[in-house]
Amino acid sequence: MSVVNVICMKWGTKYNAAYVNTLYSMVRRHLHRPFRFVCLTDDSQGFNDGIDVFPLIKLNIGAGPERGWDKLTTFSNPLYDLSGPALFLDLDVVIVDSIDCFFEHPGEFLIIKDWVKRDLTGNSSVYRFQVNSMPDILENFRTNHTQIKEQVRNEQEYLSQYVAAQGRLDYWPDEWCRSFKYHCNQPGFRSWFSPPVCPPQAKIIVFHGTPNPPDAIRGRSGKWYRRILPTSWVAENWK
């Protein structure tokens, strides 16, 4: 069985090395085939053995830190010594079931269908592509970044629109990637009496905005108007 790649990114101080190590541990438990776990980062300290660490690739567009847009550098050719299929994962996802299916599902480029937007926009917390096969995504952004950033809000809007225009955009089955905020939290007053639930058939729970996984474990919502109780199933998987 050929080796696949799992890629994540860590830059700045929002997430520490423990997030990368935890993601690696979850992947080891839930991916049952040979894989390389790769972190692209601006700080290589504190990672567990088994994690391949490479420097972040610069966008070189004459601007400051490009949080989010930096994901486009995963489409560099070459991408260090990587080859073959690659699954990109955000650091604040929680893997709750086997992710083998993410390498088996057909499609050239797969991404989460955004849960809120009604257009074709995907959520780039989980996407898959073939390493070195789509360098035009990055090259076009580098060449036209000023106009692109006037037309779209973030990298996932650009990525979705660009790949869709080439007829290569596909989405994961809806039940595989669920939002903690939208699909797990209890609605209204129920949140005061019942903890968040893990949706049936979910493989990956995506945390966006607040809370993050450690806060969900402790029952801290991050917002005064949102109540969550300590969430034991997140604790059981976030390790």
Of the listed ranges 4-18, 54-68, 136-150, 190-204, the one predicted with least confidence: 54-68
Question: What is the arithmetic mean of pLDDT over 45-49?
Answer: 96
Question: Is the pLDDT confidence value at 67 over 70?
Answer: no
78-98 mean pLDDT: 98
pTM, whole model, 2 decimals?
0.95
Which of the two residues, 191 and 19, has the higher pLDDT score?
19
Exposed, middle or buried, 140 (CB in 10 Å: 0-12/13-18/19+)?
A: middle
Confidence of residue 64 (pLDDT cuts 50, 70, 90): very low
Q: For 194-225, how does the pLDDT look when each residue is reduced to its tens digit (9 = 90+)?
A: 999 999 999 999 999 889 999 999 999 877 77
Mean residue pLDDT of the chain comes to: 94
Give the pLDDT of residue 65. Answer: 46
**Interacting residues of 214 by C-beta distance below 8 A, sequence separation 6+:** 238
Please list, in sequence order, all residues whose beta carbon lies within 8 angstroms of the beta carbon of residue 98, skipping any fewer than 6 positions away.
Answer: 30, 31, 32, 203
C-alpha–C-alpha distance, residues 126 and 70, integer Å = 15
Q: Tens of pLDDT along 131-188?
A: 999 999 999 999 999 999 999 999 999 999 999 999 999 999 999 999 999 999 988 8
* Backbone φ/ψ region at 28: left (φ over 0), alpha (ψ -120 to 50), beta: alpha
CA proximity to 42, closest of 87, 76, 10:
10
Phi-psi sector, 167: left (phi>0), alpha (psi -120 to 50), beta:
left
Lowest mean pLDDT among 25-34, 51-60, 70-79, 189-198: 189-198
Average pLDDT score over residue span 99-118:
97
